Amino acid sequence: MPSVTDLIRPDIANLEAYTPIVPLDVLAERLNLPVERIVKLDANENPYGPSPQALAALAAEPYYAIYPDPEHTRLRAMLSDYTGQPVARIVCGAGADEIIDLLLRLLLQPGDVVLDCPPTFGMYAFDTAVCGGRLVQVPRRADFSLDLPAIEQAAAETQARVLFITSPNNPSGNLTPPTDIERLLKLPLLVVVDEAYIEFAAYQAPEAERRGDIGVSAWVGRYANLVVLRTFSKWAGLAGLRVGYGLLTEELAAHIWKIKQPYNVNLAAQVAAQASLQDLEYLQANIGRIVAERERMLVALAQLPWLQVYPSRANFILCRVLDGDALHLKQALERQGILIRYYHKATLRDCIRISIGTATQNQAVLEALARWQVDRLE
Ligand SMILES: Cc1ncc(COP(=O)(O)O)c(C=O)c1O
């Protein structure tokens, strides 16, 4: 018998393994700190967690021994109220991540091209590779806006099937103006707008949202080639339960239903998401706290002359370390139990991304940054 690797798809066999995140308890042990002392600001999670109603609904659910609803009937009905889109244009997944995977499995044949615009979320590249596609990257401009002519050129040259646009973008935090998206929707490809963080941009901007200046979910159905991704991981604090959704045309949805695992969204996730949609006032108040803290952090970080701070409409802030070693900074914070994200790639060098935590956690970050600066100069 030859190596079993010979039985594996060669493109997967040659794929580089990704580095999994270290679970909180393992990390706490490694750092020799109690888990409660860890200030986890490296994955844009919600520091306030789920709504109490979601936790109560999880505890009260009597049917965990029964398979969950494969059509997510109740959740989709509630999402229809939440988004203003008809139920037939909503598909739920185990996180927005699963919708990315389903879309690419639906669209890609070996070698087909996917476009994304780095620096951006890594799952588009990951799923493209797993699905046998070819990723072509069109870097963002220095201010992280999209380079529209370059995208149009790449689309024409590669006959790309899909374009991913993240708005607000992770890790840069900026929104893409809907007018840019409107222009890109003229391209002969599927435009997937990932709005995982849109609730933080839309907070207290109902007028702008109504005008369509923030997100593009209202356009789903009007454009045959538009998909919008959303999630409960960020604004609703359910990252650990894995529940997200896509807004897409009935035509595309019909094909997704054919390839989706029937029980892709587990019962706990459905129960918690439904209860969250019934507790919007509570969750909106937490979004408000996060947005207020983001604004405070933007000002406080901008006081540090060795940091370049980028504006953000999401629940995190990207900073470039202008003087000093960004990796060293990340590691120094980690030793104190503060976790942030470090970037050092061709499209993003010497950068850190700090998720917005509670006021106490954010204060700990500011103090640790001030200490690092003093230690470094001594
Ligand atoms: C832009 C973006 N899209 C999607 C996701 C993943 O969402 P989910 O937890 O629903 O899979 C993330 C998570 O960090 C993200 O940053």
Nearest to 121 by CA among 215, 180, 192: 192
| Model confidence band, residue 363 (pLDDT cutoffs 50, 70, 90) | very high
pLDDT category at 37 given cuts 50, 70, 90 is very high
Predicted pLDDT of residue 375: 80
Give residue 2 CA to ligand 1 midpoint distance, Å.
39
Residue 208 has pLDDT above 90, yes or no: no
- Same domain (yes/no): 244, 263: yes
**Overall average pLDDT of the 249-275 stretch:** 98
Q: For residue 135, what pLDDT is reported?
A: 98
Asked if residue 229 lies in contact with residue 202, where contact means CB atoms within 8 angstroms, the answer is no
Ligand 1 neighbourhood includes 231 CB (under 6 angstroms):
yes
- CATH code: domain of residue 264: 3.40.640.10
Higher-pLDDT residue of 345 and 106 is 106
Domain boundary among 250, 279, 308: 279
Whether residues 76 and 215 fall in one domain: yes
Number of compact structural domains in the chain: 2
- Phi and psi of 31, rounded to 5°? -90, -5
Q: Which of 19-28, 217-226, 260-269 has the lowest mean pLDDT?
A: 19-28
pLDDT of residue 153: 98
* Tokens standing for residue 230: 């959303």
Residues 64, 23 within the same domain: no
63 shares its domain with 176: yes
Give the residue from 362, 311, 314, 371 showing the smallest Cα distance to 340.
Answer: 362
Confidence of residue 301 (pLDDT cuts 50, 70, 90): very high
| Residue 318 predicted with pLDDT over 90 | yes
pLDDT mean over 336-345:
94
The average confidence (pLDDT) of the chain is 95
Regarding the beta carbon of 83 and ligand 1, being less than 6 Å apart is answered: no
**Is 225 near ligand 1, meaning CB less than 6 Å away?**
no
Q: CB of 96 closer than 6 A to ligand 1?
A: yes
Q: Examine the fold and report which residue of 251, 279, 307 is the final residue of a domain before the chain moves on.
A: 279
CA of 199 to the centre of ligand 1 (A): 13
Ligand 1 centroid–CA 99 distance in Å is 10
The whole-number average pLDDT for the span 146-157 is: 98
Whether residue 374 has pLDDT greater than 90: no
Q: What is the pLDDT of residue 17?
A: 85
| Centroid of ligand 1 to alpha carbon of 245 (angstroms) | 11
Both structure tokens of 364? 């700990």
In whole angstroms, what is the distance from residue 273 CA to residue 290 CA? 20
Is residue 367 over pLDDT 80?
A: yes
**Is 210's pLDDT higher than 80?**
no
Tell me, letter by letter, the H, E, C secondary structure of the chain. Answer: CCCHHHHCCHHHHCCCCCCCCCCHHHHHHHHCCCHHHCEECCCCCCCCCCCHHHHHHHHHCCCCCCCCCCCCHHHHHHHHHHHCCCHHHEEEECCHHHHHHHHHHHHCCCCCEEEECCCCCCHHHHHHHHCCCEEEECCCCCCCCCCHHHHHHHHHHHCCCEEEEECCCCCCCCCCCHHHHHHHCCCCCEEEEECCCHHHHHCCCHHHHHHCCCCCHHHECCECCEEEEEECCCCCCCHHHCCEEEECCHHHHHHHHHHCCCCCCCHHHHHHHHHHHCCHHHHHHHHHHHHHHHHHHHHHHHCCCCEEECCCCCCEEEEEECCCCHHHHHHHHHHCCEECEEEEECCEEEEEEEECCCHHHHHHHHHHHHHHHHHHHC
194 lines ligand 1 (CB under 6 A): yes
Q: Which of 279, 313, 333 is the last residue of a domain?
A: 279
- Two tokens, residue 39: 């200030």
What b/e sequence results for 187-199 when a residue is b if at least 16 CB atoms lie within 10 Å of its CB, and e otherwise? bebbbbbbbbbbb
Same domain as 97, residue 180: yes
Percent of the chain with pLDDT over 90: 89
Together in a domain, 288 and 256: no
> Do residues 164 and 210 both lie within one domain?
yes
Lowest mean pLDDT segment, chosen from 33-37, 249-253, 291-295 = 33-37
Ligand 1 centroid to 192 CA: how many Å?
Answer: 13
Q: Which atom of ligand 1 approaches the CA of 169 most closely?
A: 1
pLDDT-derived band at 212, boundaries 50, 70, 90: confident
Q: How many angstroms does the Cα of residue 316 sit away from the middle of ligand 1?
A: 13
Domain, as residue range, for 253: 52-279
Q: Within this chain, do residues 83 and 205 fall inside the same structural domain, yes or no?
A: yes
CATH number of the domain within which 323 lies: 3.90.1150.10
In this prediction, residue 18 carries a pLDDT of 82
pLDDT in tens, 111-120: 999 999 999 9
| Contact of 293 with 79, CB cutoff 8 Å | no
Alpha-carbon distance 250 to 92, whole Å? Answer: 14
Is 104 in the same domain as 170? Answer: yes
Q: What is the pLDDT of residue 44?
A: 97
Residues 348 and 204 reside in one and the same domain: no
Whether residues 368 and 324 fall in one domain: yes
Cβ of 44 closer than 6 Å to ligand 1, yes or no, is yes
Same structural domain, 345 and 230: no
Residue-level pLDDT at 328: 94
Summarize pLDDT for 86-104 with one digit per residue, the tens: 999 999 999 999 999 999 9
Residue range 71-85: average pLDDT?
A: 97
pLDDT for 207: 73
Q: Is the CB of 46 under 6 A from ligand 1?
A: no
